Amino acid sequence: MTRMPLDPANPFATPSALDLELPDFAATTPATVREALRAGLDEQRAEWDAIAADEEPATVENTLVALERTGQLLSRVLPVAFTLMESIGGEEWDALEAEFMPQLAAHADALHLNARIFRRLESLERARALLALDPETSWLLDEYLRDFRRAGIGLPEDDQERLKDLNQRITAAETGFSQRATKALEEAAQLFTDPEDLAGLDGETLDALAQAARDRGRAGWLVTLLSPTQQPLLTRLEKAATRERLMAASLARGDGHDPDSDTRHLILTLARLRAERARLLGHATHAAAVAEEGTARSADAVAERLAALAPAAARNARSEGERLAGLAEGPFTAADWAYHSERLRRQLFAVDDDVLRPYLELGSVLVKGVFWAAERLYGITFHEREDLAGFAPEVRAWEVRDEDGRTLALFLGDYYARKGKRGGAWMHNLVDQSRLLGRRPVVMNTLNITKPAEGEPTLLTWDEVTTCFHEFGHALHGMFSDVTYPSLSGTDVPRDFVEFPSQVNEMWMANRAVVANFARHHRTGEPLPDELLDRLVAMGSYGQGFATSEYLAAALLDQAWHRLTPEEVPDDAGAVAAFEAAALEAAGLAWELVPPRYRSGYFNHAFGGGYDANYYSYIWAEVLDADTVEWFTGEGAIDGDGGLNRVAGQRFRDEVLSRGNSRDPLESFRAFRGRDADITPLLRRRGLQ
């Protein structure tokens, strides 16, 4: 049925008049998004049909460039839809997500299973030698051909129909998992009415927890949870019973105690459907299909890397656990690990979050730390734009200018947790950079920091500072993108490469010049004492046995689910816990004191879509990261600056950050580093030698 054209009054009908086409969130409603999505899907489908029906011989302009120019309306509305679905949530946005995600899966199939367009691409491939393609256009052609072939263009018609059905069902199940995981996160929040239960927390933290309770119409102190198993407050809560209650709530998410947030049936559904799709496409498992698309190239390579790291990590974790158990005055459980680890860290290094937090105010960390480091490395400057509104009062916007004063990008930050918001932290684009379309990037960072009481400062833990620097590394990857074609822009690289720039950016949070600039007491303005920074640096690989083990447990669990054949996937939701336990036992990481960073029931990376069979990518990319950090602090350093200089920064920007997916990402690494990556720096960092 032909749909009506989009109402010209719809805010997505034309490009936004705001700077750099920043979306007009103030004019956006679920109704305007729904209308624009419908029209955008129809519009791009018609554009694809026109390319397919073109009777002229295929050329770069009428095929590749034409494909890159399609979908302008959809490119305006989709980032806004995803932003509001993930950061605002609620019934209307959840319903919209459930309605359109399967349609978007079908839409992707409409392109990648279009035989006429594929034949045009093949004709360009055959004529490549005569076309004298520039390197980026040649890479774009290869990417399209790879995408079509991986998506099933070579399958018989009946199998293609089966594939379309699988893709839509998978997307619907991923959406359901993500929404249930968000609901479970909210329901797992713990309300305390006796302040004695929260002994160990300072007044500012208690005020923030009281504000969280008031925001939800409740009296007392509400501890909201973050996505991972371990919760930040576990390091500071003195009462073992409180720690146990918080840990139990975290571990129980999605396990079936609440039918409305039970995710187990969706885990099994997704494991089975993904396995069926992989087999249909000629792969042994979903893990094999995913690895082929990354820089790892094979599931066996992934398995070998993880298996090589797991034994040493487990040994280190057990050694750490024995030492921590000696500090406990009673039973020692997983809920106690973080608390006693902080106690031991305090004994060994005289450093803990209570000592550090007064020096780690969010605004200072951002402006005088995250931004300041980027200014010194890359020559850019940040100018807050209070006239540019976001979708919530807390969202802030900055205009980013290049060294010559020209506007490079817009950067938005949404740092506080709110009801309905998806847990975790992430970066995404609102506008993709493209020279072809004349667009500069608009990027966002999203975190879930507990909002303080009115008038109080937002004080961070050292881990939250790490997250700020990490997510901004993704933002730099998006903002520095300098490519022609929008589909190759910014962070649109393989999953096992995308974490590389973000992990590199974490190094600057411990650079002495950077810390001296941002770490100042929020009341007195006094800088973080040098001896405190010395102790932070001296900690080295402290706690890495635990950190590496909990990460590897999650990565191996993700692999285990996605290395199953359809016949091997259990039928009963009650089997999820048993499968998880067996997978961890097989990996040598089944230890109740160190649960996985994410258990299956709330593993949104793996079952909400995006990082399925790909959670290994963090450690995979960390090989590149650790090697790069050694370059910055060695060859790239000037007069002991630890690499914080324009020459080093420009080299990283030119060879990695600006390239997007315009060439093989490992070629970008080699161009930067002068060789392939060496795993030795990672082993040193993690204490795994």
Beta bridge partners of 588: none
Residues 203 and 197: their CA atoms lie apart, in Å, by 14
For every residue of 145-172, DSSP letters joined together read: HHHHHHTTTTS-HHHHHHHHHHHHHHHH
Q: Which of 471, 580, 622, 630 is catalytic?
A: 471
Residues 542 and 443: their CA atoms lie apart, in Å, by 34
- From residue 96, give the alpha-carbon distance in Å to each of 175, 261, 435, 506, 610: 11, 19, 32, 36, 19
Q: Which two tokens stand for residue 477?
A: 């990857």
Residues 136 and 483: their CA atoms lie apart, in Å, by 8
Query: Cβ-count burial of 38 within 10 angstroms (0-12 exposed, 13-18 middle, 19+ buried)?
Result: middle
What is the SS3 assignment for 432?
coil
Residues 498 and 500: their CA atoms lie apart, in Å, by 5
Residues 5 and 8: their CA atoms lie apart, in Å, by 9
Query: Number of C-alpha atoms within 13 angstroms, CB side, residue 522?
Result: 18
Contact by Cβ (8 Å): 203, 357: no
Query: Number of C-alpha atoms within 13 angstroms, CB side, residue 171?
Result: 19
For every residue of 501-567, DSSP letters joined together read: HHHHHGGGGG-HHHHHHH-B-TTT-PBPPHHHHHHHHHTTTTTHHHHHHHHHHHHHHHHHHHT--GG
Residues 82 and 174: their CA atoms lie apart, in Å, by 14
Query: Cβ-count burial of 363 within 10 angstroms (0-12 exposed, 13-18 middle, 19+ buried)?
Result: middle
Residue 531 annotated as catalytic: no
Q: Which two tokens stand for residue 204?
A: 């500012």
CB atoms within 10 A of CB 192: 19
> Helix 334-349 crosses helix 530-538 at what angle (to 10 degrees)?
130
Closest alpha carbon to 288 in 623, 554, 568, 612: 612
Contact by Cβ (8 Å): 373, 366: no
Residues 341 and 197: their CA atoms lie apart, in Å, by 20
What is the SS3 assignment for 147?
helix
Residues 6+ apart with CB under 8 A from 588: 310, 311, 314
Closest alpha carbon to 478 in 436, 432, 415: 432
Which positions are annotated as active-site residues?
A: 471
